[in-house]
Amino acid sequence: MKKLLFIPVGLALIAALIALSVFQVSEGEIAIVTRFGDPVRIVREAGPHRKRPGFLEKVNRLDRRIQVFKPRPIQLMLKDQDPLIVTCYVSWRISDPLLFFQSLGTPELAELKLGDMVNARLGSVLGDYGLSQLINTDPELVRLIEVEAEVLEATNRQAREQYGLEIVDLGLRRVTYPAIVTQSVYDRMKSDREKEAQRYRAEGAEEAAKIEAEADRRVSEILAESGRKAEIAKGEGDREAIRIRGEAYSQDPELFEFLDSLDTYRRILGRETTLILSLDSDLFRYLFPKPQEAGD
């Protein structure tokens, strides 16, 4: 009976021993096996692996995937003495698991160290650049790529040597002014825009004056040309009228003299007109015919 009881107990002990001696590594992990705190081997292959029981060896798991974090914002001074607050992002991964485990051990501490390294290098590099080289409407003048490449190269070399880390990518996320100078920057921008608006208004007024002067000149030319044509047409009409009248007068001069006299009477004789003339005047020869003309 006692032998039968020993069998399940032995099997349980064997199963427990196996469970404590086997561990699983996933695709996104690197395992470092330590014996009494000292690293003895690094496991990079995914799958099951053996080790000594847990009280002898311990498995420390590290994330081999790329990690991304945002360091704290840094305030710095540019080459032209413009203060800026810069925020960047950093992508990193473990390149030397053993060095990382011995120097840092945790991702939180790694990101703290990397953030300090990146910000220190960023302040040093940006001190050689002006604001117009970071923010500009002309893309040919912007040097952000050069800044990021210089910071990445320097910090990546330091991170590999000291902590076994590789910085995969690094870039600027945001560039802003400190709150203390924001209002002065806005005022300066407003003043610049007002000057530009005044320049546009002055150029517009000058152009309007040119257009108005050109319009006045064209009007004067058109009026002068119209007046000239009108005078020519009037002169031709008067000439034609004189010609027609001359032809008609030559056919019956007596009739035209009579009609001219009637027209003269109409103009000078009225109800309130007083005219004192001799009866012998030619003006009245059709009203008061002379005796010899009456006898004839």
**pLDDT 10s digits, 207-218:** 998 999 899 899
Q: Give the pLDDT confidence score for residue 184 in this predicted structure.
A: 65
Regarding whether 150 and 86 lie in a shared domain, the answer is yes
Asked whether residue 143 is assigned to any structural domain, the reply reads yes
Lowest mean pLDDT among 100-104, 175-179, 274-278: 274-278
Asked whether residue 186 is assigned to any structural domain, the reply reads no
Residue 103 maps to which CATH number? 3.30.479.30
227-249: average pLDDT = 83
Q: For residue 283, what are the domain limits?
A: 252-295
Number of domains in the chain: 3
Regarding whether 115 and 53 lie in a shared domain, the answer is no
**pLDDT 10s digits, 86-144:** 889 999 999 999 999 999 889 999 999 999 999 999 888 888 888 788 878 888 888 88
Regarding whether 74 and 12 lie in a shared domain, the answer is no
Confirm if 68 and 89 have CB atoms less than 8 A apart: yes
Q: Of 160, 176, 192, which residue is a domain's last?
A: 176
Q: Give the pLDDT confidence score for residue 251 in this predicted structure.
A: 72
Indicate yes or no: pTM above 0.75: no
Regarding whether 164 and 95 lie in a shared domain, the answer is yes
Regarding whether 109 and 33 lie in a shared domain, the answer is no
Instruction: Write down the mean pLDDT value for the chain.
Output: 80
Q: Give the pLDDT confidence score for residue 20 in this predicted structure.
A: 62
Asked whether residue 90 is assigned to any structural domain, the reply reads yes
Does pLDDT of 6 surpass 70? Answer: no
262-278: average pLDDT = 66
Q: Of 176, 202, 235, which residue is a domain's last?
A: 176
Regarding whether 146 and 74 lie in a shared domain, the answer is yes
With bands split at pLDDT 50, 70 and 90, how would you rate the model's confidence at 294? very low
Structure-model confidence comparison of residues 177 and 78, the more confident one: 78
Q: Give the pLDDT confidence score for residue 109 in this predicted structure.
A: 93
Regarding whether 73 and 17 lie in a shared domain, the answer is no
Q: Of 63, 87, 103, which residue is a domain's last?
A: 63
Regarding whether 121 and 105 lie in a shared domain, the answer is yes
Regarding whether 93 and 16 lie in a shared domain, the answer is no
With bands split at pLDDT 50, 70 and 90, how would you rate the model's confidence at 160? very high
Asked whether residue 234 is assigned to any structural domain, the reply reads no
